[in-house]
Structure 1
Amino acid sequence: MANPSASDDYFRFFGLKQQFNIDLPALDQAYLAVQKEVHPDRHARGSDAEQRLAMQMATLANTAFQTLKNPIQRGLYICQLHGVDAKLETNTAMPTAFLMKQMEWRENLDEQAADLPSLEALMIEVEEAKEETLAEIAQAIDGAKKYQRAVELLRGLLFIDKFAVELDDTIAAFI
Structure 2
Amino acid sequence: MGRRDEGLRETMTVREEIDLKSFIRHIPDFPKPGILFYDISTLMRNPDAWQMAMGRLARQIAPLRPDVLAAVESRGFLTAAPLADRLGCGMLMLRKRGKLPGRTVSHTYDLEYGSDTLEIQEDAVLPGQRVVIMDDLLATGGTLAASATLLRKAGANVVGASVLMELTGLGGRARMDGVPVTTLMSYED
Q: TM-score range by the shorter chain?
A: under 0.3
* TM-score for the superposition, normalised by structure 1: 0.25
Structure number with bigger Rg: 1
Greater percentage in strand:
2
Greater percentage in helix:
1
* TM-score for the superposition, normalised by structure 2: 0.24
State the structure with bigger RCO (CA 8 A, min sep 6), 1 or 2: 1
